[in-house]
């Protein structure tokens, strides 16, 4: 990576990249390679399998609220949390279900004192966060029962599909390491081995999710 690209990536943060509207472009099916579309579909299938009617759920890094909207009336209460206010506004505009609510907040300091049956952080959102340990701690506080927290994260096999996906929505990859991809636009997105996940999370259950990701319950 050239000095110019290094300086640009360092000036940008994931917060700024997402504030610039990356999520909207990334969720456009026209940008998604088949492996990414299959992963997103597998996420929804997994939620259908594990979320029972009457569940109280909090989705950390909810974006525009698509996971909660998908579950709809199945939830007794669904709370979406995202630091990016414009995404929360869009979620509130799109989702009219009275059981679903959205708040702008730091994922490591959610201003709620109730607990939930399930806490989620999906679509590798955890793999873009600056304080992943703090997010895990907050998920444990909000959903204190064992195995009631769910992450979906990219595996190392995701790299080719993600390179193509990021390129399609305007983020050419400029650096690849064993742990992350860094794009020309400043997006830093991590990927994980099972061993790394267990080191970071501790006791957890890990299963493949499509061909490019893991579902992690802890």
Whether residue 19 is contained in a domain is answered as yes
**Which pLDDT does position 17 carry in this prediction?**
77
Radius of gyration of the chain (CA): 17
Whether residue 210 is contained in a domain is answered as yes
Q: Which of 82, 81, 83 is nearest to 114 (CA)?
A: 81
pLDDT mean over 108-127 = 98
% of residues, the chain, pLDDT over 70: 94
Whether residue 153 is contained in a domain is answered as no
Give backbone dihedrals phi and psi of 92, rounded to 5 degrees, phi first. -65, -35
Q: Tens of pLDDT along 81-108?
A: 999 999 999 999 999 999 999 999 999 9
Whether residue 6 is contained in a domain is answered as no
> Domain range spanning residue 137?
13-46+76-145+159-217
Q: Tens of pLDDT along 52-82?
A: 999 999 999 999 999 999 999 999 999 999 9
As a whole number, the mean pLDDT across the chain is: 93
Task: Write the DSSP assignment of 148-165 as a string of letters.
Answer: -EEEEEEBGGGHHHHHHH
Whether residue 152 is contained in a domain is answered as no
Give the residue with greater pLDDT, 40 vs 10: 40
Whether residue 57 is contained in a domain is answered as no
Separation CA 156–CA 180 (nearest Å): 9
The pTM for the full model equals 0.91
The total number of structural domains in the chain stands at 1
Separation CA 113–CA 6 (nearest Å): 41
Separation CA 29–CA 8 (nearest Å): 28
Give the tokens for residue 181: 């991809």
Whether residue 192 is contained in a domain is answered as yes
Whether residue 71 is contained in a domain is answered as no
pLDDT band at 2 (very low <50, low <70, confident <90, very high): very low
């Amino acid at each position: 990576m050239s000095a110019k690209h290094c300086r640009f990536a360092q000036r940008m943060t994931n917060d700024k990249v997402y504030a610039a509207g990356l999520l909207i472009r990334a969720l456009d099916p026209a940008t998604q390679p088949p492996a990414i579309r299959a992963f997103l579909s597998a996420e929804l299938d997994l939620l259908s399998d594990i979320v029972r009617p009457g569940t109280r759920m909090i989705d950390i890094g909810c974006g525009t609220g698509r996971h909660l909207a998908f579950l709809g009336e199945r939830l007794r209460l669904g709370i979406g949390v995202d630091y990016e206010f414009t995404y929360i506004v869009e979620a509130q505009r799109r989702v009219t279900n009275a059981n679903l609510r959205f708040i702008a907040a730091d994922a490591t300091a959610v201003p709620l004192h109730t607990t939930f049956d399930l806490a989620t952080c999906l679509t590798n959102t955890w793999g873009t966060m600056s304080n992943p340990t703090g997010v895990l701690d907050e998920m444990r506080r909000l959903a204190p029962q064992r195995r009631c927290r769910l992450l979906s994260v990219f595996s190392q096999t995701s790299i080719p599909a993600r390179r193509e996906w990021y390129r399609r929505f305007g983020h050419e990859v400029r650096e690849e390491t064993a742990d992350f991809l860094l794009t020309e636009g400043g997006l830093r997105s991590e990927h994980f081995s099972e061993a790394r996940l267990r080191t970071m999370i501790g006791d957890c259950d890990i299963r493949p999710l499509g061909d490019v990701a893991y579902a992690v319950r802890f």
